[in-house]
Amino acid sequence: MTTIYDARPEPTMILRVSKKMTPCHSNWLPAKDSHLAVQLQVPQPRKKIWFPEDSNGEPHPLNPDDGYGGSKFKLNTIKAIYVTSDGKVPTNNLSNVLEGSSAFKAHRAEKKARNERETSHYYNRLSYKLALGKKTKFKIWETFQKKIDALPEPTFSLVGLAWRKTFGRAPRFEEYI
C-alpha cells in the first residue's frame, strides 16, 4: 500500500476580494435578533372538541368563555339514535327500543353490508389470481366486477381496495366517461 503525501502549502487566505465593498444602508439589514422570531416548528392544529353543559346550563370549565357569560361552543341539536326490535319507529312508551348488548349488536350489524362475506371471498380470489399471474389484470378485474355487480349489497370498501391492488392509483374506468 502506498502512502499519498500532499506537498502543497496550506492556504493562508481563503477569500481574497480585489474590489472594495460598498456598505449597504442599515435599514436594509434585518434586526440582530430577527431570526429568533421565526417559528422552528409548524403549530399542530387543535381538535375541535365539544364540551357539555351541566344541568343548570353552565358551560364546562374547559369550554372557552365567549365574553358574555356563556360558552364559546354550544351544541344546538341533539339526535337520539334508537335501534328497535321490529325495525320500525320507536313507540311513545319506547317499549320496542333495544338496550344494552342487544342494541350494540344491532348497531354493529347495521354497519355491515349484507354481502360482506361474499365480497370478501371475491376479493381474496382476485388477490390469489393476481399473485398467480396467469391472466391479465383486465380479465381478472372483469370477472371480479361481474361477480360484484350480481351482489345486491357488496362491501364497497373492499371493491376500492381490490381496484387499488390491481391497478394502483390509476383512475377507474367510469371516471373516463
**Concatenated DSSP letters of 104-141:** HHHHHHHHS-TTHHHHHHHHHHHHHHHHHT-S-HHHHH
Beta bridge partners of 59: 53
Under DSSP, is residue 17 helix (H, G, I), strand (E, B) or coil? coil
Decide which of 42 and 49 is more confident: 42
pLDDT of residue 93: 86
pLDDT of residue 55: 74
Q: Cα(164)–Cα(173) distance, rounded to whole angstroms?
A: 13
- Reply yes or no on whether the pLDDT at 106 is more than 80: yes
Residue whose C-alpha cell reads 325495525 in the numeric block: 87
Instruction: For 16-48, write each residue's pLDDT tens digit.
Output: 666 777 777 777 776 666 665 555 666 666 655
